[in-house]
Amino acid sequence: MKILLVEDEARLATAVRRVLNDEGYATDWSADGADGLSRASSGEYDVVLLDVMLPSYDGYEIARRLRRDGATVPILMLTARDGIQDRVRGLDAGADDYLVKPFALAELLARVRALSRRAKMGAAAETQILTVGDLELDIPAREARRGSRRIELTAREFALLETLMRHPGQVMSRSQLLDSVWSYDSTTESNVVDIYIHYLRNKIDRGFDRKLIRTARGMGYAIRAD
Ligand code: CA
């Protein structure tokens, strides 16, 4: 496991690297945005930890360029501000997760573990049957089931559910869902996502005690079993 840390605060970088190294991760450190981007593009890292405010390119720009160029490396943004806009901006730029400074190093470790686990699962080829709790989505057969109940979905509902289920537990912004399911420009303001989430809830959560589709107020939606 090799981690790239792009962070211009030397003291924080030192502390983060120390705790990662203690956990057995190899780390490289870059204190500059352009340098960080070129290293992150190399494909040799399992996770990239990305500060937002950096010399030359900022973290959003780095994430955006990496995703534009097709890099799939998990990105954890380290943001100084806790505003919803800042978080959504990071996720929209292509970050997988974010952590607000100041953060506990134990929490950083937990996020890194989760991201690397997810990356490994992704690398084990695209799973053909997705499950979240008792909900099962059979991609080749285009079938959805909750427990023993078969669920009929339209093509669009299926695509939306598949997108959520490929990122279990992860809040996906409306823009991410629009991009992924409708291929709209992410700047398009539309409540189509909310409408389809409503349809999906009627089909997969109604009548069940345990609701799977969660609303992250002001941020987006996630699917989660616990
Ligand atoms: Ca900084």
Specify whether 141 is located in the same domain as 208: yes
The maximal CA–CA distance of the chain, rounded, in angstroms, is 55
CA 31 to centroid of ligand 1, rounded, Å: 9
Quick one: which H or E segment has residue 115?
helix 105-123
CA 35 to centroid of ligand 1, rounded, Å: 14
Specify whether 82 is located in the same domain as 136: no
| More confidently predicted of 125 and 7 | 7
Specify whether 133 is located in the same domain as 121: no
pTM, full prediction: 0.56
| More confidently predicted of 63 and 128 | 63
Query: What's the structural domain count of the chain?
Result: 2
Domain boundary among 93, 125, 157: 125
Domain of residue 183, CATH code: 1.10.10.10
Distance CA 167, CA 79 (A): 22
95 CB-side CA count, 13 A: 25
Confidence of residue 117 (pLDDT cuts 50, 70, 90): confident
Specify whether 199 is located in the same domain as 134: yes
CA 23 to centroid of ligand 1, rounded, Å: 24
Instruction: Output the average pLDDT for the chain.
Output: 88
pLDDT at 122: 62
Q: Are strands 97-100 and 75-79 parallel, antiparallel or unpaired?
A: parallel
Segments forming the whole domain that contains residue 84: 2-125
pLDDT at 178 over 90: no
pLDDT at 186: 47
Confidence of residue 182 (pLDDT cuts 50, 70, 90): confident
Domain boundary among 97, 125, 153: 125
Domain boundary among 125, 158, 186: 125
Specify whether 98 is located in the same domain as 183: no
Specify whether 144 is located in the same domain as 219: yes
CA 44 to centroid of ligand 1, rounded, Å: 23
Specify whether 13 is located in the same domain as 121: yes
Q: Residues with Cβ within 5 Å of ion ligand 1?
A: 8, 51, 53
Average pLDDT over residues 128-146: 89
Domain of residue 75, CATH code: 3.40.50.2300
CA 53 to centroid of ligand 1, rounded, Å: 4
Query: Are the beta carbons of 23 and 108 closer than 8 angstroms?
Result: no
Q: What is the DSSP letter of 41?
A: T
